[in-house]
Amino acid sequence: MQSKPLTSVALLFMLLLLGQALTGHLNQIPGEERNTELDFSSIVMFSNNTTDSDGDGIYDTVDACPNGNSSWTSTIYTDHDSDGCQDSNEDLDDDNDGIVDAYDSCPVGSLGWTSTNSTDYDSDGCRDSGEDSDDDNDGVADGYDLCPKGELGWISSNSTDADGDGCRDSTEDSDGGGGGGNQTSPCGSNVNYTSVYAYAP
The string of pLDDT tens digits covering residues 154-169 is 999 999 999 999 999 9
| Strand ranges (E), 47-189 | 182-184
- The string of pLDDT tens digits covering residues 89-141 is 999 999 999 999 999 999 999 999 999 999 999 999 999 999 999 999 999 99
- The string of pLDDT tens digits covering residues 12-36 is 666 666 666 555 555 555 555 655 5
The answer on 87 and 3 residing in a single domain is yes
In order of 72, 100, 105, 122, 172, the CA distances from 165 in angstroms are 49, 31, 24, 18, 10
DSSP for 174-195, please give it: TTTT---SEEE-TTSSEEE---
CA-based nearest residue to 124, from 143, 101, 145: 101
CA-based nearest residue to 68, from 77, 120, 78: 78
Amino acid at site 3? S
Which pLDDT score is estimated for 174?
77
Residue 52 lies in a domain: yes
- Give pTM, 2 decimals: 0.59
The answer on 117 and 76 residing in a single domain is no
The answer on 69 and 9 residing in a single domain is yes
CA 31 – CA 37 distance, rounded (Å): 18
The answer on 3 and 86 residing in a single domain is yes
The whole-number average pLDDT for the span 138-146 is 94
The whole-number average pLDDT for the span 186-196 is 44
In order of 6, 8, 96, 127, the CA distances from 3 in angstroms are 9, 16, 34, 45
The answer on 3 and 46 residing in a single domain is yes
Q: Facing residues of 192 across strands?
A: 182
Note whether 79 and 56 are within 8 A (CB): yes
- The string of pLDDT tens digits covering residues 45-78 is 544 567 888 889 999 888 899 989 888 899 999 9
User: What is the pLDDT confidence band of residue 190, given thresholds at 50, 70 and 90?
Assistant: very low
The answer on 153 and 78 residing in a single domain is no
* Domain final position from 110, 132, 154: 132
Q: How many CB atoms lie within 10 A of CB 196?
A: 16
